[in-house]
Amino acid sequence: MCAEVIDSTLWKFVDSTVKLSEKMKLECIYPKKAVIIQTSWMKHNVTYKENIAVLHANYGIHIEDKYKGRIYFENASREDKSLSFIKSTLEDVGLYFCSIASYPDGTWEKVIEIIQPADSFEISEKQNNPVFTKPGGNVTFICPYNRRDSVQQVVWERIKADCIDTIVQCNSLGGQRFGADFKKRALVDCSDQASSMIVIKNVSVSDFATYRCVATGRNKTYVMSFTMLATWDHKWFITYIAGGISAAVLLLVFLLIFCISTAYDKK
């Protein structure tokens, strides 16, 4: 088996965290429009990267013997190279790398960690602040904190039932690191010592989830959560109401015909 030796101390930033379950999906969707030549899936195994599978534009899909019958590619479309597990075990806990080689952009990589948490990732709705937007629009989140606590690091995350995606991590020195899925469509301002603000552009259906800001200071950690909710577009609202009325009318007509037919049969 061919494997790449790596320094285990280098991988501290994770783009996504997935909850271990018998059936799970490691999402890897290429965000650009370049020509994808090859996709490689590997696992960090102590001091080296273990090969899992390779998808090649011309040669098809190769899965290592160890993983045959346990993984598959549900929809290996032009951009979607997500890896699905159907028989996962505790041995599957760890770091995974989705590496996509494309022309002319080069290599794009996403790091995903599978963990076994005690509880679900979801946050109670009582702790969330609602934020409204619609698909295709932009949304802004603001996370305030006390400037006297000298916040050293701020992390923004998107949270779903079985997955946490890192949006951005920034520190007091001005350093920023975006998660792989948000590099091209998220803006962040961490320069304000009293708050952090992010803007997510071109919102999609998958973005309607819970968002969390974790600001770590010298003496206190601030945590604030938001729930992104869809607003009703006027056109879609009318369509929805019209569809509901039509369904109700059809149901009444059906019941009327049924009652008349029953009465006629009794005669």
What are the distances in angstroms from CA 250 to CA 32, 239, 254, 259? 46, 16, 6, 14
The residue-averaged pLDDT of 11-19 equals 86
Q: Where do the structural domains in the chain lie, given as residue ranges?
A: 4-115, 125-230, 237-267
Q: Do the two domains 4-115 and 125-230 of this chain adopt the same fold?
A: yes
- Residues 6 or more apart in contact with residue 229 via CB below 8 angstroms: 130, 131, 132, 133, 208
Residue appearing with tokens 């996509």: 100
Q: What confidence score (pLDDT) does residue 41 get?
A: 98
Q: Supply the pTM of this predicted model.
A: 0.78
User: Which CATH architecture best describes the domain 125-230?
Assistant: Sandwich (2.60)
Cα–Cα distance measured from residue 239 to residue 124, given in angstroms and rounded to the nearest whole number? 32
- The answer, yes or no, to whether the previous bond of 130 is cis (omega within 30 of 0) is no
Cα–Cα nearest to 197, from 163, 227, 224, 234: 224
Q: Residue 181: pLDDT band by 50, 70, 90 thresholds?
A: very high
Give per-residue pLDDT as tens, 114-128. 999 766 676 665 667
Tokens describing residue 251: 């149901």
Report domain 4-115's class: mainly beta
What are the distances in angstroms from CA 81 to CA 68, 141, 161, 218? 17, 30, 21, 41
* pLDDT score of 234 more than 50: no
Q: What confidence score (pLDDT) does residue 97 get?
A: 97
